[in-house]
Amino acid sequence: MSKVNVGIIGFGTVGSGTVEALIENREIISNRAGTDVIIRKIADLDIKTKREVVVARELLTTRAMDVIEDPEIHIVVELIGGVKAAKEYILKAMEGGKHVVTANKALLAEQGQEIYQTADRYGGSLAFEASVGGGIPIIRALRSGLSANRIKTVMGILNGTSNYILTRMPQEGEPYNKVVQDAVDLGLAEDPPTLDVDGTDAAHKLAILISIAFGSPASFEEIYREGISSLTPDDIRFARELGYCIKLLAISRVRDGRLEARVHPAMIPRDHILANVNGAYNAIYLDGDLVGPNLYYGLGAGKKPTASAVVSDIIDLARHIRSETDVIMPPLAHFNPHDKGLLIRPMEELSSEYYLRVSALDKPGVLSTIAGILADQQISISSVIQKERETGGPVPVVMLTHEALECNVQKAVSLIDQLDVVMDKTVMIRVEKR
Amino acid sequence: MSKVNVGIIGFGTVGSGTVEALIENREIISNRAGTDVIIRKIADLDIKTKREVVVARELLTTRAMDVIEDPEIHIVVELIGGVKAAKEYILKAMEGGKHVVTANKALLAEQGQEIYQTADRYGGSLAFEASVGGGIPIIRALRSGLSANRIKTVMGILNGTSNYILTRMPQEGEPYNKVVQDAVDLGLAEDPPTLDVDGTDAAHKLAILISIAFGSPASFEEIYREGISSLTPDDIRFARELGYCIKLLAISRVRDGRLEARVHPAMIPRDHILANVNGAYNAIYLDGDLVGPNLYYGLGAGKKPTASAVVSDIIDLARHIRSETDVIMPPLAHFNPHDKGLLIRPMEELSSEYYLRVSALDKPGVLSTIAGILADQQISISSVIQKERETGGPVPVVMLTHEALECNVQKAVSLIDQLDVVMDKTVMIRVEKR
């Protein structure tokens, strides 16, 4: 095969980044693929608006089916995002014998099983490096570089927007809403950045990582989600005083034969390798039975990093098409067919250390009442910070607990919040040390 | 192909780790390879000494050629290390049509071109993930995950032993020799750990990374090498005062069409992502034109992490053998045949910032004499630390320079060291900020 033809559906930010990369790095791409990689068609509803990259008019079409049905096209690249139309196009392309590259995390997280199985049925390849961690080749690390390992833990900073917000808050002591607005103004976040800050985007990516790392078809809906909007500069300051920083973490870990799967703000020690992951960067920390702890770090989004992943997928597929081989690694390679997969442990059964910040009136006996409620729920305290009294107003009572059960902590917090002397909802942040 | 047969040459630490992994994780390995992966023969000069892993007596042989000539064996795994015998075995195996997996960094760094070309000639695969960074899948990241990128910078902590030593020195303020002896006593380093601490091991690994990252056949001998043995706890303390830490870095960077290639102690800012890489860990930092900055982190040596890489290579090859395909990615895929490769820039032409520690008698005019010598060489100073006088003895004069030329700094240091008031060799450490 002297050339491999690519058709692209979606000419937005990632689409035009992909086209630009295929044109600008054409020589090294052909070298590495062992064949010319040619853009044959680009479909988008809007083919009028000017893009930064210039392409020949005749490559453009408004009909996705023009790409899917073109018999000369070997690889269909889906970059429109969203679930419904993208799914339809991908399934049609697979049925037509195309190889598919996608960056669509929502689709894979919510309906990945059907997509993987369809790819398997029609014998096509499905490559989706860009769906998690932007340009970081984390999907390949799990599917190939670490394939000898039983993975025990996956823990990641998977959303750049929320990491940018959490990085800026402690530096500048600014409240959450102000920093979010700045991120939107700078073009770093959607307006409003709901799916970024409420944990949905990170949970989508975690669902994909779980399916590969643990060979277990995780459903996105089963992943516990909690966003960063209730965090205050105070919490970030207290965390720092205690030797921690706060990150929005996506965590999955095998424990006692079941899988933890959760996205929430977490405190990690300041010398943890994830603690220096700042700004819009992402990082994925893994632990495997052979390899031990591993970390992968890079820009988690953006036109060029995402194009890096999409085009690297295209090169890998082109190498296969060129040598006219079958699919080497079926999409389901990491699923054990004899295995229903690991069950996800309900959040109430989580065992963790906790940070609690109670807003209480500074009256005699308040700390002892709170401590009593915690003791009743088998929660023991490892350290307390109580700040000086502000005349009249509530004072923050900050506590770190030893390991305790989530259900007990939830119960204790709800009892504490019913006390007359407690003036605001108690903030609870889980602590991750490993 | 219902099973893939593996023959292993070398039953030492990595060899027995590989055998153990193939046995213990057999089920997941077969699942992911899509075929059974069977150990058919293990060759070692010593087959008497008991290993931690138990294997059937009839698998063992003292003759490497029994492995290489076995027609049932698909994959030959070379794990004896060293250059001469290993090269002979690998070339023979390739000539016999075997696929080869090796962890041999010295061989690939010193004679990689011949090995790569032989693999190419006979159409076999050559996999060498374990040769750099232990279990970190950095070779795959470069060859596959980042294949769309023009790589601009590779910068790594590639030797765990020296990183362990540098991590312990500032924590405990212990002198170099004491920490090295502890590392040897703990089994973390060879006795003496010469190739680890003099930069040879890191330079071997850098030569391999350069050949892939830049598609340029770097010769190991061309890489500038400087070890860590002249560093003192004082330097580490001063670096910290200035906001830096000291790491043994392997650095390669394209600048003005030529390649920097060097291994030496370097100061990096304490908030640099490489600064938290401590103990026996390795990390590789990359910058690509699309992906931007990337980091890969994990254990750089040891039985299990190295076995993780070796077995992951075996799984990838088994996937190919099973589907009876040609080599998908030839060993030379990242070399541009029309290109002689980038020339390596001579060290004297390096432009960098520098840390200098001069041991001078505390007499009037000393600082001005030193500053004068620097000024004569076009070197300007960005900060100075001069410590209080100790009666009689020399005092350290610590300086950070702005960007200067290596040849000028070398000249200035040699002039400074000739001064009567200078009592000891001046310590010079390059500063890396990116």
Q: Does the CB of A299 have a partner CB in chain B at under 8 Å? A: yes
> Which residues of chain B make contact with A153, given a CB cutoff of 8 A?
none
pLDDT digits (tens, 9 = 90+) for B210-223: 999 988 777 889 99
* pLDDT tens sequence for chain A (434 residues): 689 999 999 999 999 999 999 999 999 999 889 899 999 999 999 999 999 999 999 999 999 999 999 999 999 999 999 999 999 999 999 999 999 999 999 999 999 888 988 988 888 889 999 999 999 999 999 999 999 999 999 999 999 999 999 998 877 777 888 888 888 887 777 778 899 999 999 999 999 999 999 887 778 899 999 999 888 888 999 999 999 999 999 999 998 888 999 999 999 998 888 988 999 999 999 999 999 999 999 999 899 999 999 999 999 999 888 877 655 565 555 665 555 667 888 899 999 999 999 999 988 889 999 999 999 999 999 999 887 666 677 889 999 999 999 999 999 999 999 999 999 999 999 999 87
Is the predicted pLDDT of residue B335 greater than 70, yes or no? no
Tell me, yes or no, if A58 comes closer than 8 A to chain B by beta carbon.
no
List CB contacts (< 8 A) between A32 and chain B.
Answer: 147, 333-334
Angle at A28 between CA A25 and CA A31, to 5 degrees: 145
The domain A3-134+303-322 is placed in CATH, from the list 3.40.50.720, 3.30.565.10, 3.40.1390.30, 3.40.50.2020, at 3.40.50.720
So what's the pLDDT on residue A332?
58
Q: Do B32 and A334 touch (CB under 8 A)?
A: yes
Which superfamily is assigned to B347-431 in CATH?
Answer: ACT domain (3.30.70.260)
Q: What is the pTM of this model?
A: 0.92
Look at residue B120 and give its three-state secondary structure: helix
Domain at B139-301: CATH architecture? 2-Layer Sandwich (3.30)
Nearest-CA residue of chain A relative to B17? A290
- pLDDT number for residue B188: 73
pLDDT at B336 over 60: no
Q: Which of A135, A291, A320 shows the shortest C-beta gap to B305?
A: A291
* B263, B251 contact by CB (below 8 A): yes
**Which CATH architecture best describes the domain A350-431?**
2-Layer Sandwich (3.30)
Cross-chain residue pair A140–B135, CB shorter than 8 Å: no
Q: Which residue has the higher pLDDT, B249 or A327?
A: B249
Q: Give whole-number Cα distances, A107 to A85, A138, A200, A223, B263, in Å.
A: 10, 18, 13, 16, 45
- Within an 8 Å CB–CB cutoff, is residue B298 touching chain A? yes
Q: Answer whether B325 sits within 8 Å of A325, measured CB to CB.
A: yes
Please tell me if residue B300 touches chain A, with a CB cutoff of 8 Å: no
Instruction: Tell me which residue of A112, A120, A310 sits closest to A207, measured CA to CA.
Output: A112
Task: Report the alpha-carbon distance of residue B218 to residue B406 in Å, rounded.
Answer: 22
Buried (b) or exposed (e) across B31-62, using 16+ Cβ within 10 A? bbbbbebbbbbbbbeeeeeebebebeeebbbe
Q: In whole numbers, what is the pLDDT of chain B averaged over residues?
A: 91
> Under an 8 A CB cutoff, do A326 and B323 touch?
yes
Q: How far does A200 lie from chain B, in Å, by closest CA?
A: 24
Q: Do B31 and A336 touch (CB under 8 A)?
A: yes
B416–chain A nearest CA distance, Å = 39
Between B37 and B343, the more confident residue is B37
Predicted local distance difference test score (pLDDT) of residue B334: 60
Point out the residue among B129, B136, B292 whose CB comes nearest to the CB of A298: B292
What is the predicted pLDDT for the residue at A336?
A: 57
Which A positions 317-346 lie with beta carbon below 8 A of chain B?
319-320, 323, 325-330, 333-334, 336
Say which of B273, B297, B312 has its CB closest to residue A146: B312
Asked if the interface predicted TM-score (ipTM) of this complex is over 0.85, the answer is: yes
Q: Are A408 and A375 in contact (CB under 8 A)?
A: no
Residue B127 to residue B258: CA distance in whole angstroms: 28
Between B332 and B164, the more confident residue is B164
Domain ranges for chain B = 3-134+303-322, 139-301, 347-431
CATH superfamily of A140-299: Dihydrodipicolinate Reductase; domain 2 (3.30.360.10)
Scanning every residue of chain A, which has its alpha carbon at the shortest distance from the alpha carbon of B32? A333
pLDDT at B29 over 60: yes
Q: Say whether residue A304 is in contact with chain B using an 8 A CB cutoff.
A: yes
Rounded to the nearest angstrom, the minimum Cα separation between A221 and chain B is 27
**Where does residue A324 rank: exposed (0-12), middle (13-18), buried (19+ CB within 10 A)?**
exposed
Mean pLDDT in residue range B293-299: 96
| CA B167/CA B63 separation, integer angstroms | 42
Judge whether B400 and B432 are in contact, CB under 8 Å. Answer: no
Topology alike, domains B3-134+303-322 and B347-431: no
Share of chain B above pLDDT 70, in %: 94
Asked if B404 contacts B327 with a C-beta cutoff of 8 angstroms, the reply is no
Sign of torsion over alpha carbons A264, A106, A145, A278: negative
Distance, CA of B38 to CA of B1 (rounded, Å): 12
Q: Does B212 touch chain A (CB under 8 A)?
A: no
| A26 in B contact zone (CB under 8 Å) | no
Contact status of A376 with chain B (Cβ, < 8 Å): no
